[in-house]
């Protein structure tokens, strides 16, 4: 089974993900990422490789980040320890400092017992599959073992937060003065930097979920538990709520009435605003096949094309990078604004959403109303042959639903990549219609593809 998943190496800390594995993975990374043109140039100039290492506040991050730093330094890499900062801050700092690569120790929205290791290449970009495979193979090979003055140094990245905050503030098209924002930091990596940034941008800020103790990350708070934020916004009479996940690479929002504004709605707001100021490259938004039909309809009405990718922010990123697009993301709140970031950035996204409220002098509900959210029903059909989604009987049933729904709905069947499961997703003008089609298709899948 491959070590790398869809977003780095992730698992139970001190279970699958041990200090020994973290150290060896760092050493293998030094071997593979130390072979590029920039690395050779540094060697020619007598300079060692440099890497930024950071983590989220979960307790296991302390020993895992230490192991990563030790593995890099033992391979002759100078380490800049940025401490607890968001994942997108790590990506930004790699580029801003001209480091050769970087490592973020985080399991994002997972509970505290889990952790993960995310590796970024030069420029703060995610690694392609082929490079991850080379690193995994290098775990079995020889490692760099310099001695004496050849070993790397580990130093504190003293102004890491300040650089990131200044970068975020410099990206804003408008200040946030006069807007009351409730921030839910998920007891995660945003707890220190997000409140400071929103205040510096002019917002009145109330903070929840900003007391990390190493064990409470994502526990009943953050982007996966929006009810807490919604209650706080309504109770306080605030204008908007912004929710991060544990490593702050995603953002979801809540309007003044406590209604959730998801990643599709956020992308719709930003896409229209960016088009108006000429910042939306080729008038194109990149989204996954799971994005709501309402997003497609709204973008069509505003002369914006939606380019679809497979599910996963890495596929959105690949398409954006290949073709130079400026905005993309997922319904889950991973939003990528490539003018300012190389990965999803929850702080950047939240700031720009609130900036649009201030600039247009509109509520979030008014901004979000440009998109009608179609009811979406998802049924997971288990115990079936996931390779059989192209079965003739299944495809006939899909075609019948597509024909019946017409322009008012959408059908998507997706096979799981890891288990005997097929996901049936149906969107329609009403939840009742969507549910009826989803249940009918799920029954066909069960009958035709049963193991």
On whether both 250 and 182 belong to a single domain, the answer is yes
Beta strands at 180-184 and 335-337: parallel, antiparallel or unpaired: unpaired
Evaluate whether residue 1 is within a structural domain. no
Q: What is the pLDDT of residue 369?
A: 97
- Starting at the edge strand found earlier in the chain, the sheet holding 376-382 runs 376-382, 421-427, 410-415
- Whole-angstrom Cα distance, residue 408 to residue 390? 24
Q: Is 239 annotated as a binding residue?
A: no
- Consult the annotation and say whether 108 binds a ligand: yes
148: how many CB neighbours lie within 10 A of its CB? 5
pLDDT grade for 163, boundaries at 50, 70 and 90:
very high
Together in a domain, 89 and 125: yes
Q: Is 201 exposed, middle or buried (0-12, 13-18, 19+ CB in 10 A)?
A: buried
Which residues, 6 or more positions from 216, have their beta carbon under 8 angstroms from its beta carbon? 112, 187
Residue 56 counted as an annotated binding residue: no
Provide the mean pLDDT of the chain.
94
Q: Which whole-number Å values give the CA distances from 416 to 12, 311, 382, in the listed order?
A: 22, 11, 10
Give the rounded percent of residues in the chain with a pLDDT score beyond 70: 97
Question: Has residue 404 been placed in a domain?
Answer: yes
Q: How far apart are CA 106 and CA 118, in angstroms?
A: 7
Q: What are phi and psi of 388, to 5 degrees?
A: -100, 20
Dihedral sign computed on CA atoms, order 121, 123, 124, 127: negative
What are the tens digits of pLDDT across the range 355-368? 999 999 999 999 99
User: What residues are annotated to the active site?
Assistant: 108
What pLDDT, in 10s, does the model give residues 189-231?
999 999 999 999 999 999 999 999 999 999 999 999 999 999 9
* Residue 143 banded pLDDT, cuts 50, 70, 90: confident
- 135 and 175 share a domain? no
Do 232 and 321 lie in one domain? The reply is yes
| Predicted TM-score (pTM) of this structure | 0.92
- Residue 255 annotated as lining a ligand binding site: no
105 and 252 part of one domain: no
In a domain, 125, yes or no: yes
Q: Which domain holds residue 393?
A: 376-449
CA dist., res. 118 & res. 6, Å (int): 10
What number is the average pLDDT over the span 163-187?
97
Same domain (yes/no): 115, 251: no
CA Rg value for the chain? 23
């Amino acid at each position: 089974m491959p070590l790398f998943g869809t977003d780095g190496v992730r698992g139970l800390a001190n279970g699958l993900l041990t200090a020994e594995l973290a150290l060896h993975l760092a050493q293998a990374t030094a071997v593979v990422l130390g072979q590029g043109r920039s690395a050779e140039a540094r060697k020619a100039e007598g300079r060692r490789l440099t890497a930024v290492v950071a983590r989220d506040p979960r307790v296991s991050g302390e020993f895992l980040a230490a192991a990563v730093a030790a593995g890099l330094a033992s391979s002759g890499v100078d380490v800049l320890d940025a401490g607890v900062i968001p994942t997108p801050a790590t990506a930004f700092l790699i580029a801003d400092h001209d480091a050769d690569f970087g490592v973020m120790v985080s399991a994002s929205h997972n509970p505290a017992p889990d952790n993960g290791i995310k590796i970024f290449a030069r420029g703060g970009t995610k690694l392609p599959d082929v490079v991850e495979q080379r690193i995994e193979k290098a775990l079995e090979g020889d490692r760099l073992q310099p001695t004496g003055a050849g070993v790397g140094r580990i130093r504190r990245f003293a102004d890491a937060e300040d650089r990131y905050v200044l970068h975020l503030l410099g990206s804003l098209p408008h200040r946030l003065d006069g807007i009351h924002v409730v921030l839910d930091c998920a007891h995660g990596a945003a707890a220190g930097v997000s409140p400071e940034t929103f205040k510096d941008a002019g917002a009145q800020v109330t903070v929840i979920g900003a007391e990390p103790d190493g064990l409470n990350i994502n526990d009943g708070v953050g982007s996966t538990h929006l009810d807490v934020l919604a209650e706080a916004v309504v109770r306080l009479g605030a204008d908007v709520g912004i929710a991060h996940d544990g490593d702050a690479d995603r953002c979801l929002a809540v309007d003044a009435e406590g209604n959730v504004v998801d990643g599709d709605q956020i992308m719709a707001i930003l896409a229209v605003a960016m088009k108006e100021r000429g910042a939306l490259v080729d008038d194109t938004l990149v989204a996954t096949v799971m994005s709501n039909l309402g997003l497609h309809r709204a973008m069509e009405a505003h002369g914006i094309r939606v380019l679809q990718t497979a599910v996963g922010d890495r596929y959105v990123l690949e398409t954006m990078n290949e073709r130079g697009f400026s905005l993309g993301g997922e319904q889950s709140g991973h939003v990528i604004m490539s003018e300012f970031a190389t990965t999803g950035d929850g702080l950047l996204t939240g700031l720009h959403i609130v900036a649009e409220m201030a600039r247009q002098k509109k509520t979030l509900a008014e901004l979000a109303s440009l998109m009608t959210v179609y009811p979406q029903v998802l049924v997971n059909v288990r115990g079936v042959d996931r390779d059989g989604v192209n079965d003739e009987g299944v495809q006939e049933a899909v075609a019948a639903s597509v024909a019946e729904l017409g322009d008012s709905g959408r059908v998507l069947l997706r096979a799981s990549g890891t288990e005997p499961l097929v996901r049936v997703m149906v969107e329609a003008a009403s939840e009742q219609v969507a549910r009826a089609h989803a249940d009918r298709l799920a029954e066909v899948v069960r009958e035709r593809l049963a193991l």
